[in-house]
Amino acid sequence: MGEARLAGKVAIVTGAGRGIGKSIARALAAEGAHVVLASRTQPEIEHLAAEIRSAGGAATPVRTDITDERDVERLTAEALKVSGAVDVLVNNAGIGVFKPVVAMAVSDFDAMWNVNMRGVFLATRSVLPPMIRARGGAIVNIASLAGKNTFKGGAGYGATKWALRGFAGSLMLEVREHNIRVVTICPGSVDTDFSSTGKKGAQITQPEDVASAVIFAVTAPARSMFSEIDLRPTNPA
């Protein structure tokens, strides 16, 4: 087994209880990071924390509603207890409702914006002060190729991911002077229960592949930043 490239680092992962977030948390822990697991579903992150610890890693589960400002501040405070720093934030939590505009409830539209954008804003704003003080850090946003391409039924969800890319691009220009990297990963179809396409199987991008992209981004030489990474199957046929 190779050297743990993130030993001594603290990483927050939102939406860590399942799917892509779960794989990202495992990968960060395997690289030596103390992973702070955020999710609204406490049993899922408790189970994942136990799994990570049993494999020799370090994890702290923190039940968090990413749309609630007080919850997010508490999440950051818990992460800071580990070593006084937050080195990595992975904005992974997201929801999708895939319907034509005429059939979409206002509550569905609002819920996507609350999680997919408000949650990202709250979590990012919360970790920036300690990252700026430390003169470094990485903020990784899990967006989607739906933030670059349009499709039927994707107006609400896609709009949040286009917005996320705009947010991330502007943020990158604001914080790069503090040696903070902002990376946005845009997966296409991933073999999870979240996928709107229903595509499954070994030829489709797996959650572990998205996790590998996160590790690639946060372990790159400090002088370099992969500001956007598109991730799609090599040959889905």
Interatomic CA distance for residues 34 and 9, integer angstroms:
6
Enumerate the active-site residues.
157
DSSP string covering 39-91: ES-HHHHHHHHHHHHHTT-EEEEEE--TT-HHHHHHHHHHHHHHHS---EEEE
Alpha carbons within 13 A on the beta-carbon side of 171: 25
Greatest extent of the chain over all pairs of C-alpha atoms, in Å: 53
The dihedral of CA 28, 31, 35, 37: what is its sign?
Answer: positive
Sequence letter at residue 9: K
Please name which of 125, 118, 146, 108 lies closest in space to residue 230, comparing C-alpha atoms. Answer: 146
Interatomic CA distance for residues 143 and 216, integer angstroms:
16
Q: Residue length, the chain?
A: 237
* Cβ-proximal residues to 205 (8 Å cutoff; 6+ apart), any chain: 187, 188, 189, 190, 191, 231, 232, 233
